[in-house]
Amino acid sequence: MSLAGLLGLTDPAGGAALQTRLLPHRPEHAFAAGATTTNGDGFGVGWYGIGATPGVFRAVGPAWSDRNLRELAGHVASPLFLAHIRASTGTAVQQTNCHPFRHGRWLWVHNGMIRGFPQLKRELVLAVDPSLYAAIEGSADSEVMFFLALTFGLEDDPPAAVEQMVGFVEATARSHGITDPLQMTIGTSDGETVWAFRYSSEGRSRSLFYSTKLHTLRQLYPDNPVLHDLAEETRLVVSEPLGDLAGAWNEVPESSYGVVHHGHDELHPFRPRSMPAAVG
Amino acid sequence: MSLAGLLGLTDPAGGAALQTRLLPHRPEHAFAAGATTTNGDGFGVGWYGIGATPGVFRAVGPAWSDRNLRELAGHVASPLFLAHIRASTGTAVQQTNCHPFRHGRWLWVHNGMIRGFPQLKRELVLAVDPSLYAAIEGSADSEVMFFLALTFGLEDDPPAAVEQMVGFVEATARSHGITDPLQMTIGTSDGETVWAFRYSSEGRSRSLFYSTKLHTLRQLYPDNPVLHDLAEETRLVVSEPLGDLAGAWNEVPESSYGVVHHGHDELHPFRPRSMPAAVG
Amino acid sequence: MSLAGLLGLTDPAGGAALQTRLLPHRPEHAFAAGATTTNGDGFGVGWYGIGATPGVFRAVGPAWSDRNLRELAGHVASPLFLAHIRASTGTAVQQTNCHPFRHGRWLWVHNGMIRGFPQLKRELVLAVDPSLYAAIEGSADSEVMFFLALTFGLEDDPPAAVEQMVGFVEATARSHGITDPLQMTIGTSDGETVWAFRYSSEGRSRSLFYSTKLHTLRQLYPDNPVLHDLAEETRLVVSEPLGDLAGAWNEVPESSYGVVHHGHDELHPFRPRSMPAAVG
Amino acid sequence: MSLAGLLGLTDPAGGAALQTRLLPHRPEHAFAAGATTTNGDGFGVGWYGIGATPGVFRAVGPAWSDRNLRELAGHVASPLFLAHIRASTGTAVQQTNCHPFRHGRWLWVHNGMIRGFPQLKRELVLAVDPSLYAAIEGSADSEVMFFLALTFGLEDDPPAAVEQMVGFVEATARSHGITDPLQMTIGTSDGETVWAFRYSSEGRSRSLFYSTKLHTLRQLYPDNPVLHDLAEETRLVVSEPLGDLAGAWNEVPESSYGVVHHGHDELHPFRPRSMPAAVG
């Protein structure tokens, strides 16, 4: 997929309004997450290509006016990328708070927040594996969620690790009297597979959509040339539908996660795992 | 007036949503201009205080997340300031394209655009007084309008200079077959007086409002403590009404300009002056 | 003192090359700290004026090309300011890592580093008072030192608190087998008094200078007009001497701290207080 | 060549201190230009790869702390790139003043300045082809030189166009009583060939070096593994020698230009072409 797809970020009020143009000949997956209001507090894109780890480009201004993003979008190709546009829920607008976050080959984007984060932050951060602690660079809740998931085994079993992370955050919030602390859609990848989670403590999660199989779309739209240029296994996961092709987008159900992988995709229920709260 | 007034820039979709808190004891004037959609492409504020020329603070990110703006707003006082939040109509997002523009003691903010500017730019810039030419630092239409107005005598007779500038831009556009080239509200000041213009070639100009005299507002709202803290001659000119105090805002009529000055304010019709087009 | 003094930041290789121009008629104190090589990784200035807390202006580019800094320097006045130019020792170049750090009325600038900070960071941060923890915004060693000093009572007894902070950092480093962990000159103020510390674990600290009393300088240079324009109690503390006026600068001795206050200045020995290491 | 070569930009005082690590298997050319003092006023890199035009990444901070540059350097590959680190000679530090400048497939980097540029700028800009005028985005002398060279036929005959540009700038300066106006090393490319110019009006030009043929270096250093990994036709052109490999760098003579192309390289004398001055 060419990052040219990001070129369409011209509508600041449009959430993750990525007008993605897909390029042919490779299995391709992507995840893009944005909040529902103006997302002008920085952005980022990660992609797998040259090098042992994914590349990450992040900046603090709005994506819609960033010239370097347009340059990258037109001149970098990758079979898998994750993009994010940020609306700060309070923490500083700085590069180290922009998504995707990276650890080794893993990328992480999050749309949502931890309510009461200033009260919970110390206990949550203390639960991060001490060997990972120094790698936390920013101050955002999303990064702490990533490092908690890494602590709970993200690299071995992503769904289990995210379920433990959520369980732990909810238990810690409960011990502070904070109800419904978590609102999240999450995308994470190791470069081969994309896991996409939709969950919130209150059961009314931000939206998450995945694209219909290309084979089906081509039958629906036999004359659409774009669809015939795309690679067979192309799959997009987005926070809001892009474009207006009826039948192209399917909602990830409440409290679920999807797995996008070469040759097979899956959809499963997501259940937070019961965890003891942090000891403050 | 304390720049604390700018602290309220938290609603990116709200145009020039300045929630101005006025401070007492001095005659105070202000002009704030913004476009009607998301204004996240930089901002600026100019103020008169220490020094022979006004201070100008400009930055390229959105005003709503700029910490230095909050600091200045809380720690700089001035009897007269001009503020602007920018939505680029195509030119680069850079400090030298942010308003206010400054020349000597003069500040200039503009809300609108010159249509067909890329085609007209060379001829317009050539008409700028050669002695002023090197002081043009940015690439925006608004700055060229300022330097044309300076060329036509802004420092001596602001209304006449702006009327000539508009006449010249319209004549030049006409010679290129561009109709209705100008859309503008403009605020300019020498530190003593604020001139505020509302005009567009098509006669459907962006909005411009001025605040009701404080004496009248106090009679309307005898129990409102904020109004009683304000200086007697406080006057605001804004692109969109702030707050929801009925009776507080009055629209500047189509094709008009206002003059805000110590002791007297004026409202006059605005008529572009017939000018020969630039010779290409 | 006018911040115009900062206008001279044009020599990026010159450490804290502030060519300070002092303005008359008020007791004035200032502290400026920089590292010895190129300091182009952000800068900041804090000043006491309008408002209950000091103003802070910080940016991530080099001070020498920052236009807003020049504007502030020419348009903001204060009897007391602290300025800093940063050379990152590894942590991110971002506003929240720029000095001065602020807490209430307190400002803090630091020149130096904690060696082995990535290994020590978790234990040091854990020792910060939990009620202060959420106010840590950046990732730099200097900010952690500030919050440790606050934890140890900076607001009540600054020298004792800084001596405890140093003792604690050294004990924690020792428990990790890190020798000579601290290199520091520090300036801190509550708006009335400036405390300036010079210390390093190895006893070879970065330089720190204070200006000679104006009364003495005027006797040395009876014809220097600048000296006669200055306020009687003007005092500067800088990491490197400014200008070339012989007799103007006096080195703060190794392992010492100075106190600059209205009417009296002091110089004392600095001795780290024995503290137990953090329990990892 | 991988942009990983740019990863070494850690010494801000080291001019164009690119510690280039070359990667194997393709003919590779590069040009890097920097001024002689601290180059912290922005940087840029252009490369030829995906897409009809080269990619350009430019930013306003110092290259040495730019994380996105490190990411690109590690994750973008190209057979030909141009890099530049900037020390402003007065014009604004903004993206549109950063090199490389681009027009179609052409890139342009310049090290040096036009003396008296503020006085000459209007006349020089007027001589730019009106159809190109609107594409000038910045305010720097280097960009005006590029657009003058384009006006004089850069795309057809680069050496002739640059010689005319220089002749024109010198004639215009002469008419203003400015002697020795030009100081320049220039690199320009269409993606196939690199032209590198060294010239100054006063005959004491900034340095320019090209790397020795790999075949020769391998005979000199038969045991150096890096040299054996490189592509046969690898060639670097730099403003200052990189590394300390004796015999690796050759100075481009005063008033000369080199041509680096697949299969053959050339070195020629550079002679400004007599041009009439601009009519002011």
Per-residue pLDDT tens digits for D173-221: 999 999 999 999 999 999 999 999 999 999 999 999 999 888 888 888 8
Chain B residues touching D129 at Cβ < 8 A: none
**CA B130, CA D122: separation in Å to the nearest integer?**
7
Instruction: Give me the pLDDT at residue A37, please.
Output: 64
Residues 46-85 of A with CB under 8 A from B: 60-62, 64-65, 67
Element (H, E) at A115: none
Mutation for testing the A interface, residue in C96, C126, C141 having most A CBs under 10 Å: C96
Is residue B90 within 8 angstroms of chain A, CB to CB? no
C-beta separation of D235 from D137 below 8 A: no
Interface touch D51/A59, C-beta < 8 Å: no
| Nearest Cβ partner for D41 among C38, C65, C67 | C65
Q: Chains touching chain D at 3 or more Cβ pairs under 8 angstroms?
A: A, B, C
Is residue C90 within 8 angstroms of chain A, CB to CB? no
Q: Write the CB contacts of C94 (distance below 8 Å, at least 6 apart in sequence).
A: A92, A94, A95, A96, C42, C60, C138
Angle between helices B158-175 and B141-151 (to 10 degrees): 120
Interface touch C72/B57, C-beta < 8 Å: yes
Which residue is listed with tokens 């370097």?
A68
pLDDT in tens, A1-41: 333 332 222 223 222 222 232 222 233 455 554 444 688 99
pLDDT in tens, C86-138: 998 788 999 999 999 999 999 999 999 999 999 999 999 999 999 999 999 99
Query: pTM to 2 decimals?
Result: 0.88
Chain B residues touching A67 at Cβ < 8 A: 92
State the alpha helices, DSSP H only, in C8-140.
67-75, 117-126, 130-133
Is residue D92 within 8 angstroms of chain B, CB to CB? yes
Chain D residues touching B95 at Cβ < 8 A: 92, 94
| Nearest Cβ partner for D40 among C40, C67, C92 | C40
Which residue of chain D has the CA closest to C39? D12
Buried b (16+ CB within 10 A) or exposed e, B116-141: bbebbbbbbbbbbeeeebeebbbbbb
pLDDT in tens, D163-176: 999 999 999 999 99
ipTM of the complex: 0.85
Encoded tokens for C35? 């590292």
For C23, the 3-state DSSP assignment is: coil
**CA A28, CA A23: separation in Å to the nearest integer?**
9
**CA C138, CA A91: separation in Å to the nearest integer?**
11
**CA A228, CA C75: separation in Å to the nearest integer?**
62
Dihedral sign from CA coordinates of B152, B156, B162, B167: negative
C-beta separation of B149 from B109 below 8 A: no
Instruction: Give me the pLDDT at residue C31, please.
Output: 53
Chain D closest CA to C143's CA: distance in Å?
20
Question: Contacts for D221-228 with beta carbons within 8 Å, 24 or more apart?
Answer: D221/D245, D226/D21, D226/D22
Element (H, E) at D149: helix D141-151
For A280, the 3-state DSSP assignment is: coil
Mutation for testing the D interface, residue in A25, A75, A137 having most D CBs under 10 Å: A75
Chain D closest CA to A57's CA: distance in Å?
6
Assess whether pLDDT exceeds 60 at residue D22. no
* C-alpha closest to that of C63 among C17, C2, C30, C126: C17
Assess whether pLDDT exceeds 90 at residue A135. yes
Is residue D129 within 8 angstroms of chain B, CB to CB? no
Q: What is the mean pLDDT of chain A?
A: 85
DSSP state of A176: T
C-beta separation of D27 from D236 below 8 A: no
Chain C residues touching D37 at Cβ < 8 A: 12-13
Cα distances from B81 to residues A247, B27, B101, B108, B210, in angstroms, run 53, 12, 13, 11, 15
Element (H, E) at C184: strand C182-189
Chain C residues touching B67 at Cβ < 8 A: 58, 95
Interface touch A92/C95, C-beta < 8 Å: yes
| Nearest Cβ partner for B38 among A12, A92, A93 | A12
Instruction: Give me the pLDDT at residue A231, please.
Output: 80
Burial of A21 (0-12, 13-18, 19+ CB in 10 A): middle
Is residue D93 within 8 angstroms of chain C, CB to CB? yes
State the alpha helices, DSSP H only, in chain C.
67-75, 117-126, 130-133, 141-151, 158-175, 214-220, 225-229
Q: Write the CB contacts of A164 (distance below 8 Å, at least 6 apart in sequence).
A: A149, A152, A153, A273, A275
**CA D108, CA D91: separation in Å to the nearest integer?**
18
Chain A residues touching D50 at Cβ < 8 A: 2, 74-77
Going by DSSP bridges, is the β-strand pair A80-85/A29-33 parallel, antiparallel, or unpaired? Answer: parallel
| Nearest Cβ partner for C51 among B55, B57, B75 | B75
* C-alpha closest to that of C33 among C245, C189, C162, C234: C189
Chain C closest CA to B28's CA: distance in Å?
18
Mutation for testing the C interface, residue in A93, A95, A96 having most C CBs under 10 Å: A96
Instruction: Give me the pLDDT at residue C12, please.
Output: 29
Amino acid at B2: S
Q: Who wins on pLDDT, C233 or A63? A: A63
Query: Between the ranges B72-86, C148-162, D30-44, where is the mean pLDDT highest?
Result: C148-162
Q: Chains touching chain C at 3 or more Cβ pairs under 8 angstroms?
A: A, B, D
Instruction: Give me the pLDDT at residue D72, please.
Output: 93
pLDDT in tens, D83-92: 999 998 788 9
* C-alpha closest to that of D153 among D138, D170, D168: D168
Interface touch D67/C38, C-beta < 8 Å: no
C-beta separation of B265 from B239 below 8 A: no
Q: What is the mean pLDDT of chain C?
A: 85
**CA C231, CA D25: separation in Å to the nearest integer?**
69
Beta-carbon pairs below 8 A across chains B and D: 40
Which residue of chain C has the CA closest to B60? C68
pLDDT of chain B along its 280 residues, tens only?
A: 333 332 222 222 222 222 232 222 233 455 554 444 688 999 999 999 888 999 999 999 999 999 999 999 999 989 999 999 999 878 899 999 999 999 999 999 999 999 999 999 999 999 999 999 999 999 999 999 999 999 999 999 999 999 999 999 999 999 999 999 999 999 999 999 999 999 999 999 999 999 988 888 888 888 888 788 778 888 899 998 888 888 889 999 999 999 998 878 899 999 999 888 765 5
Interface touch C38/D13, C-beta < 8 Å: yes
Mutation for testing the C interface, residue in D9, D11, D38, D89 having most C CBs under 10 Å: D38
Encoded tokens for B77? 């006082």
Encoded tokens for D211? 């790397």
Angle among Cα B176, B177, B182 to the nearest 5 degrees reads 85
Q: Write the CB contacts of B48 (distance below 8 Å, at least 6 apart in sequence).
A: B54, B55, B78, B79, B80, B81, B105, B189, B191
Instruction: Give me the pLDDT at residue A279, please.
Output: 59
